[in-house]
Amino acid sequence: MAKKRRKNWFIRNWELFILPAFVLIPALYILIDGYIENRLRKASNALDRSTIIFTSPDPNASKETETYHEPDQLFEVSPDTNTASDLNLNEPLIALIIDDFGPALNRRVIKGFLDLDINITIAVIPGNEKSVQTERDALSKGKEVIVHMPMEPIDSVYMDERDMIYVGIDSIGLKTLFDRVFSELSGAIGMNNHMGSKATSDKHLMEMIAKELVTRNKYFVDSKTSPGSVGSSFMNSLGADCIESDVFLDFSNDKEVIRKQLYKTIRIGKRRGWAVGIGHCRKKTLKVIKEEIDEIKREGIQFVFVSEMIEYIADKN
């Protein structure tokens, strides 16, 4: 009898349990999502603390030092890209590179970048859980993909990637590493450096990398993680396609700082005719870009892939 009374009480008072559930479940989802985002941001910052960015080459900017916080079936798909002849040469060109794809990051943020209705270049770290899948998804969305190649930083603590180019590697070891990486990310048409403040300052190493990229017909983006980088000089001297980054968008995870850096890229583009900005696969970076796309387009800015910009600069010169 007591059990029956308890059962009847639950039936009569079911709303006491259902209604709080409608409140608690969404609240729990928000808390878990925030926790995951915070952990991912801390992990990303931990990797990037070894990277130091020198002042962007904007002559109108004040002197400052910016600290930057940085087997599935394989198949190749070529994104539909414009050629330089298709571009409106009367409008400034902006190439945005988004780094750090590959690890198991927030899926909604990854999808958000790939769904952007502008041309952006996706830089994928090889050898990570989602590297191949992210490349596949990016190519299917018509984005351009490059390898975000781990390279030795000055701070030797942050060197746990599978594919890391160390100072002192020989030509055979470098070729083996490049064979593996560009086989895994077979749709990548270039590379930029992940960290690399020590590696990009080493003349012998950058000469070997330039020769490998020329052989493979891949371009190089010098992320300029060190003021002593010799990457572009060796690329140019050996005939490799190369371009340097102008601005890091998200050395801070503050939305207003990211917005300021985005428009700093735009100012350089308006003055020079083109500019390269590098951001990272982060929620706030995505939000700022989404919020500002329409306004930037109204200002007559063209978002282009890095390969298009390299071709444009070559034709111009």
CATH number for the domain spanning 86: value is: 3.20.20.370
Q: Which range is least confidently modeled, 54-58, 80-84, 289-293?
A: 54-58
Indicate whether 101 and 19 sit together in one domain: no
Whether 99 and 135 map to the same domain: the answer is yes
Cα-trace Rg, the chain = 23
283-298 vs 107-114: helix axis angle to the nearest 10? 20
The verdict on 158 and 97 lying in the same domain is: yes
Q: Which two three-digit tokens encode residue 214?
A: 């020329």
Going by C-alpha positions, the residue among 281, 277, 301, 183 that lies closest to residue 223 is 277
CB 129 within 8 A of CB 72: no
Range of the domain at 9: 2-40
Q: Give the pLDDT of residue 106.
A: 85
Same domain, 89 and 205: yes
Which residue, among 213, 188, 190, 70, has the nearest Cα to 134 in the 3D structure? 188
Residues 234 and 255 in one domain: yes
In this predicted model, what pLDDT tens digit does every residue of 62-95 receive, in sequence order? Answer: 333 333 333 222 223 334 444 444 666 678 999 9
Mind listing the pLDDT tens digit for each residue in 118-141?
999 999 999 999 999 999 999 999
Residues 162 and 225 in one domain: yes
When the pLDDT of each residue in the chain is averaged and rounded to a whole number, the result is 79
**Residue 148 sits in the same domain as residue 15:** no
Other C-beta atoms closer than 10 Å to the C-beta of 156 total 10
* 100-104, 122-126, 156-160: segment of lowest average pLDDT: 156-160
Three-state SS for 198? Answer: coil
Q: How many residues does the chain have?
A: 317
The pLDDT of residue 43 is above 90: no
**68 and 32 part of one domain:** no
If pLDDT is split at 50, 70 and 90, which confidence band does 163 have? confident
What was the pLDDT predicted at 113? Answer: 98
pLDDT at 2: 54
The continuous run of DSSP H or E covering 31 comes out as helix 15-48
Q: What is the largest CA-CA distance in the chain?
A: 93
Query: What total of structural domains would you count in the chain?
Result: 2
- Checking if the pLDDT of 171 tops 50, the result is yes
Q: Do 225 and 153 belong to one domain?
A: yes
What span, in angstroms and rounded, lies between the C-alpha atoms of 164 and 147? 12
Helix H or strand E encompassing 221: strand 219-222
Confidence of residue 285 (pLDDT cuts 50, 70, 90): very high
Percent of the chain with pLDDT over 90: 55
Tell me the sheet residues that pair with 280: 99
Residue 256 and residue 283 share a domain: yes
pLDDT of residue 22: 56
Residues 205 and 94 placed together within one structural domain of the fold: yes
- Dihedral sign, CA of 25, 26, 29, 30? negative
Q: For residue 155, what pLDDT is reported? A: 77
Task: Give the range with max mean pLDDT: 27-41, 52-66, 90-104, 231-245.
Answer: 90-104
Same domain, 161 and 308: yes
